[in-house]
Amino acid sequence: MSSHDLHLEGAPFLKEQNAGLYEPAGSKSLGEATERSSKQNRAIAAEIPSWQDWRESARQIKQFAIANLDKLLVQFEERISARGATVLWAENAEQANRLVLDIAREHHVKTVVKGKSMVSEEMELNHTFEAAGIRAVETDLGEYIVQLAHQRPTHIVTPALHLSAEDVGKIFAERLGEPFSADHQHLTNVARRHLREEYLKADMGMSGVNFAVADTGTLVVVENEGNGGLSTSTPPIHVALMGIEKVLPSIYYLPVFLNLLGRSGTGQKLTTYTHLIHGATPGKKLYVIILDNGRTNVLADPATHAALHCIRCGACLNACPVYRRVGGWAYGWVYPGPIGSIVTPGLVGLKSAGKLPFASSLCGACQEVCPIKIDIPHQLVHLRHRAVNEPSPMNSLSERLTWKAWAWAMSGSKRYRLAMAAVRLGVRMAKFLPWHPGKLGAWTRGRELPRVPGPAFRKSWSRHRSQLDSHDRSDRT
Amino acid sequence: MITPANPTAPRQDDPPYQKGDPVALFIPCYIDQFYPGVGEATARLLTRHGVPVVFPEQQTCCGQPAFNSGYWEEARRVIHHFCDTFGDHRWIVSPSGSCTAMCRVFFGHVDPDRRVVGVGRRVFELTEFLVEILGVTDTGATFPHKTTLHIGCHTRRELGVVEPTLKLLQNVRGLTYCELPNMEECCGFGGTFSVKLAGTSLAMGQTKAENILASGADVVVSPDTSCLMHIDGILQRNPEMKHIRTKHIAEVLDAGVQ
Ligand code: SF4
């Protein structure tokens, strides 16, 4: 899939306004799992009395880092290169793919084991490997499962969140020829057995990067399954992929972020493994690929700057009532949920992703849980403003004219009264119509219209006021 | 519970409320036209607590529907009309948390002009005004019903108003308060979201309605009539839920007062 061509196949709600009433694309497991993790996230955050202060410091640190990206990235490059790493820069996904392939070819790589990386999803790296005849195996359990099932992840932290244990049992039976089981421990053991062999065979290991620390030149990779450690240290080559926004100014700030990430991401006090990689292990190779791929576009819009503060913890997905119902595929690209509705238009442009900012009731649950306090709902409305003014699927002349007429009617009280009389009449007549068109139909599909009462408030106000006045007077006397 | 993010501080730079200061009512369009009783209850409540009430007749809308839909240029025109109408009033009170949030938090997004932002920050949600400005926590109301509370997301998260509403409700005589499961979750209304993404909106509303039923309440109250319009529409479609009534908090706080 070219990155500018969004597939909204999982998204009846984005394709067709009136589709998908009670059949949201998300699965039952997804709804339950997200609700559970959201409660867990909140509970474990509440354990820290100064949680709000931590969020605020994290926000400020990230703000500083993003404002000083140019200097910090160069500092990071210098420091980690001094310890044997090779740092490579890629402007877009194509360049990054080429860099990875060049490394693989240079070292005659046949098999790659991959730790979890959203950037790799962004680059569609697995397709590139496949086309080049290189076997790439995802080693994060969730990624492994969706890779076996030929699916895309539905969640940025827990890629197989939409699948139940039964689903996984079936996938393992079908793809690995294992006897069916729905037992969690058994399934984990099966995956472990298969993956162990892969680590030993692999010529190259890959990982994402959670934080790139500038002052020490350190890559930080967190994970829970041990697969990240094995992928980065067993094969002779380690290639780490990161977006430019991953940089942190100093290692002193790391504890704050590790705490916020673990608690918000998986409801843990700390992830099981935290790898600090300071350079290449003697005798082995370390490459770090730093990718832009549209991030500087996000940087160019001051209203969405803060989207680059995201540490990809996934808390906003779990908290989002829309995500819970429509699932990750509905968002058409790599990053789903509330933050995806900001990041995707930023990275691939409003022209193909202009509908995403509208996939929100603006309830603000995302911002409430975001460990970096990103003002997600405000950014969404800002992007809506851009989407109706710039080339995008939401830029429509008829809508524009409707709102112009609305604004005209709403900026004079006489016009307001006339318009409202028409609305009242419409609502009254609606029950006699055999079917309801457009927005009216969308409302009455599952809802009754309000009953039209007697005179409007403003009509009866003068009578009402004189009653109030007389009451008031009688109270005082 | 996590405390609400960034509630926008109203009006610190202005003098505090003096007894006898008049209040301008902002009655949003859907309340004006479809729920006039809410406006009347609001006016009665304020008057009873010694607040002189005026209703600037030129008022229309806060601009939120256009703003949330991305049509900021159109919203700006309506906001300017709002500021012309309310510009001379120091205290503006509205029985809608959502419209209050539009004025207080979002006017500045559309037009950073000092006057516009200044007018926006003088708008108060009704329960917030009663508790935090007037210091009233008991309105003397009697409402002998099993009642649950839904606070709209703008009221909860943009304004950070939760406590005042709860406090006022707790002091209503005869009222049995029923805890609403997952109360902080969105009901799915979301303005134009409700018709733009109707399927998802309805699925969210259905969950809310089920939780209301599970709470055992006969009445749902809210500082947000717009959420109630959506919730009521869903309840009315469902035979097991039809008996549940929706009421604005002003109507409950005004009930049964001599
Ligand atoms: S926006 Fe915030 S909550 Fe969402 S993934 Fe990023 S850091 Fe986590």
Could you tell me which of B117, B123, B105 has the C-alpha nearest to residue B68? Answer: B105
Encode pLDDT of A237-272 as tens digits.
999 999 999 999 999 999 999 999 999 999 899 999
CB A312 near ligand 1, within 6 Å:
yes
Q: Do A421 and A318 lie in a common domain?
A: no
Could you say which residues from 85 to 124 on chain B have a Cβ atom under 8 Å away from some Cβ of chain A? Answer: 106, 109
Range of the domain at A380: 12-29+297-389
Which residue has a Cα nearest atom 3 of ligand 1? Answer: A370
Q: Using the beta-carbon criterion (under 8 Å), do B198 and A387 form an inter-chain contact?
A: no
Residue A97's contacts (CB-CB under 8 Å, 6 or more residues apart) are: A123, A124, A125, A128
Question: Is residue A399 a part of any domain in this protein?
Answer: no
Q: Whole-model pTM? A: 0.93
| A88 pLDDT higher than 60 | yes
Q: Do A79 and A201 lie in a common domain?
A: yes
Question: Is residue B117 a part of any domain in this protein?
Answer: yes
ipTM comes to 0.94
Q: Do B178 and B117 lie in a common domain?
A: no
Question: What value does the mean pLDDT of chain A take?
Answer: 90
Question: Is residue A448 a part of any domain in this protein?
Answer: yes
Question: Is residue B184 a part of any domain in this protein?
Answer: yes
Q: Do A158 and A275 lie in a common domain?
A: yes
Question: Is residue B17 a part of any domain in this protein?
Answer: no
Q: Do A263 and A345 lie in a common domain?
A: no
Q: How far is CA B61 from CA A216, A413, B28, B37, B58, in A?
A: 55, 10, 6, 18, 10
Q: Three-state DSSP class for B99? A: helix
Q: Total structural domains in chain B?
A: 2
Q: For the residues of B147-189, what is the DSSP string, one character each?
A: EEE---HIIIIII---HHHHHHHHTSBTPEE-PPTTTTS--S-
Residue A472 has which token pair?
């008031």
CB A311 near ligand 1, within 6 Å:
yes
Q: Total structural domains in chain A?
A: 3
Q: Three-state DSSP class for B77? A: helix
Final residue before a domain boundary, out of A389, A407, A424? A389
Encode pLDDT of A174-211 as tens digits.
999 999 999 999 999 999 999 999 999 999 999 999 99
CB A315 near ligand 1, within 6 Å:
yes
Q: How far is CA B54 from the centre of its chain?
A: 19
Ligand 1 atom closest to A339 (CA): 1
CB A163 near ligand 1, within 6 Å:
no
Question: Is residue B13 a part of any domain in this protein?
Answer: no
Question: Is residue B6 a part of any domain in this protein?
Answer: no
**Residues A37, A38, A41, A46, CA torsion sign:** negative
Q: Do A275 and A303 lie in a common domain?
A: no
Question: Is residue A53 a part of any domain in this protein?
Answer: yes
Query: Could you tell me the distance, in angstroms and rounded to a whole number, from the CA of residue A314 to the centre of ligand 1?
Result: 5
Band of residue A471 on the pLDDT scale cut at 50, 70, 90 = low
CB A73 near ligand 1, within 6 Å:
no
Question: Is residue A402 a part of any domain in this protein?
Answer: no
List of chain B residues whose C-beta atoms are within 8 Å of the C-beta of residue A420 = 29, 32-33
Report the percentage of chain B scoring pLDDT > 70: 94
Final residue before a domain boundary, out of A321, A355, A389? A389
B142 DSSP 8-state letter: B
Encode pLDDT of A114-129 as tens digits.
999 999 999 999 999 9
Please tell me the predicted confidence (pLDDT) of residue B7.
Answer: 41
Ligand 1 atom closest to A376 (CA): 1
Report the percentage of chain A scoring pLDDT > 90: 75
Q: Do A289 and A353 lie in a common domain?
A: no
Range of the domain at B76: 23-133
Please tell me the predicted confidence (pLDDT) of residue A463.
Answer: 86
> Any idea what the CATH number is for the domain that residue B167 is in?
3.40.50
Q: Do A222 and A346 lie in a common domain?
A: no
Confirm if B120 and B178 have CB atoms less than 8 A apart: no
Query: Could you tell me the distance, in angstroms and rounded to a whole number, from the CA of residue A371 to the centre of ligand 1?
Result: 7
Question: Is residue A96 a part of any domain in this protein?
Answer: yes
Q: Do B28 and B129 lie in a common domain?
A: yes
Q: Do A149 and A265 lie in a common domain?
A: yes
Question: Is residue B123 a part of any domain in this protein?
Answer: yes
> How many residue pairs bridge chain A and chain B with CB atoms within 8 Å of each other?
231
